[in-house]
Chains A and B, each alone.
Chain A
């Protein structure tokens, strides 16, 4: 089994299954912080999928997008929690 086949048939399905599980939490999430942490986790799993995809296509340029996604994940979590805390303040 070559590396490409292994990544295609083992790693990508595991990551896809975890995306589905996190998305169920995103839809169910009873409170707003549950949805925010599920959104953060979705972006982090997408970083992994981008890294695997850059191995598959043999192009390292996709790692720049992964760095951008890491920045966006932190920015969105910080901004959401800031405004969540400010919302209670009259």
Chain B
């Protein structure tokens, strides 16, 4: 019974990891790639680690697994946000299908500070076809 549960959880985890890596390979844009990695891989790693905790079934392993899962839940989203902000500021080209870019011209050129009113800075990535 426990083996069946471990098989099901690890299969779902591995499939989520696989879908996340296919998305990382096929999405047209750096921001879409960061978005894919942030969601699907978090769930996949969580499921595989929960299956490990089920297999060992004692307190020390479960504590470590809960610590890893909580740490990853916090840091994957923070790291994705940091990397997307840096990629926007160095003007990585965005996909041509992007309709709305609300951040265009809102970051200050020198201090990289975000302003909410019209700021007319030059930080504004160009949409391109072939990335």
Task: Mark A residues whose CB is within 8 Å of B.
Answer: 2-3, 6-7, 10-11, 14-15, 17-19, 21-22, 24-25, 30-31, 33-34, 36-38, 40-41, 44-45, 47-48, 51-52, 54-55, 60, 63-64, 66-67, 70-71, 73-74, 77-78, 80-82, 84-85, 87-89
Residues of chain A lying within 8 A (CB to CB) of residue B76: 44
Residues from chain A with a CB closer than 8 A to the CB of B22 are 18, 21
Give the contact-size bracket for chain B.
35 or more
Produce 1/0 per residue, B16-45, CB < 8 A to A: 011011101100001001100100010011
B contact face: mostly helix, strand, loop, or mixed: helix
Tell me which residues across on chain B come within 8 A of A60, comparing CB atoms: 56, 60-61, 64
The total number of A-B Cβ pairs within 8 Å is: 156
Q: A21-B21, A78-B82 are in contact. Are A41 and B37 (CB under 8 A)?
A: yes
Contact assessment for B64 and A64 in the assembled complex, using a CB-CB cutoff below 8 Å? yes
In the assembly, what is the distance between CA of A81 and CA of B92, in Å?
13
Known contacts A3-B3, A51-B48, A51-B52: A66-B68 contact under CB 8 Å: yes
Minimum distance in angstroms from A82 CB to a CB of chain B: 7
Please state if B52 and A54 are interface contacts (CB–CB under 8 Å).
yes
Main secondary structure of the interface of A (DSSP, over half): helix
B104 at the interface (CB under 8 A from A): no
- Is the Cβ of B49 less than 8 Å from the Cβ of A25? no
